[in-house]
C-alpha cells in the first residue's frame, strides 16, 4: 500500500529538479551567470528555495549539474563509441564536428557557459574541462591514435583547431555579429559553407597524415 505514495514522491522530486535545472537555463539565457542567485532561481522555478538544498545540496551543486547536462563533449562517453570502426574514426570525427557545430549554435545556454568558462574561475567549469579532456582522450587513444601512429599528436592539434573554431564562430555570431570572413554565420548558406569546410579538412587530414 505504501508503494504509490513513495513512487509519487519520487516523481514529484524529479519534476521539481527539472524545474530548477530549467530555471538555471532561463536565467543564464536572459541575465547571464551573474543572475544565478538562489532566490531568483527559486522564483523562476516557482518553488521553495529550501528544495534546492534538499535535492542538490546547494546552489553551486545545482549549477554544476546543469553545466554537466549541457556540454556536448561531456556526453560523448567511451561506452558510446560505435563498435567495429574500420576507418580510424574518420566518419565518427566528421559527424561529431558537424553535430557540435549545430549543437553550440542552437544551445544558447551552452554559449553562456562557454563565455562564463573564459571569464571566471569555478570548480565546476574546471571540472567540465577535465571531463571533456577525459572523454576526448578515450576517443583519441582507442580510435585515432592507433590509426595515425607517429602523427597522432598532429591529428590532435588539427582537432584542437577545429573544435575551438566551432566554439568561436558560434560565440562570435551570438555576441558580436554574424559575418565572419564574408560568411554569415547565422544564415543556412553561410553555415553550410563552414560544414563543407569541416568535412573537407577531416578528409584531407585523414588522407594527408
CATH 1.10.10.60 fits 3-59, yes or no: yes
For the chain, the structural domain boundaries read: 3-59, 71-208
Could you say which DSSP state residue 35 is in?
A: G
**Gap between the Cα atoms of 168 and 186, Å rounded:** 13
pLDDT tens for the chain, 209 residues long, are 455 555 566 678 899 999 999 999 999 888 888 889 999 999 999 999 999 999 999 998 998 888 888 877 766 666 666 677 889 999 999 999 999 999 999 998 889 889 888 888 888 788 888 888 988 898 999 999 999 999 999 999 999 999 999 999 999 999 888 999 999 999 999 999 999 999 999 999 999 99
The three three-digit cell numbers of residue 195, written as one number: 560544414
**Gap between the Cα atoms of 96 and 98, Å rounded:** 6
Start-to-end C-alpha separation, the chain: 66
**Gap between the Cα atoms of 162 and 86, Å rounded:** 23
Amino acid at each position: 500500500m505504501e508503494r504509490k505514495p513513495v513512487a509519487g514522491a519520487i516523481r514529484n522530486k524529479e519534476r521539481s529538479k527539472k524545474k530548477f535545472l530549467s530555471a538555471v537555463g532561463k536565467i543564464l539565457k536572459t541575465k547571464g551567470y551573474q543572475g544565478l542567485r538562489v532566490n531568483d532561481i527559486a522564483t523562476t522555478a516557482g518553488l521553495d528555495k529550501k528544495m534546492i538544498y534538499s535535492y542538490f545540496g546547494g546552489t553551486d551543486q545545482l549549477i554544476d549539474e546543469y553545466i554537466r547536462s549541457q556540454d556536448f563533449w561531456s556526453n560523448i562517453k567511451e561506452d558510446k563509441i560505435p563498435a567495429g570502426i574500420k576507418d580510424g574514426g574518420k566518419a565518427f570525427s566528421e559527424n561529431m564536428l558537424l553535430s557540435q557545430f549545430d549543437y553550440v549554435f542552437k544551445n544558447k545556454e551552452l554559449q553562456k557557459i562557454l563565455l562564463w568558462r573564459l571569464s571566471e574561475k569555478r570548480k565546476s567549469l574546471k571540472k567540465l574541462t577535465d571531463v571533456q579532456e577525459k572523454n576526448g582522450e578515450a576517443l583519441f587513444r582507442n580510435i585515432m591514435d592507433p590509426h595515425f601512429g607517429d602523427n597522432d599528436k598532429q591529428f590532435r592539434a588539427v582537432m584542437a583547431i577545429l573544435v575551438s573554431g566551432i566554439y568561436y564562430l558560434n560565440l562570435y555570431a551570438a555576441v558580436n555579429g554574424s559575418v565572419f570572413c564574408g560568411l554569415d554565420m547565422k544564415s543556412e548558406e553561410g553555415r553550410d559553407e563552414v560544414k563543407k569546410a569541416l568535412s573537407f579538412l577531416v578528409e584531407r587530414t585523414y588522407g594527408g597524415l
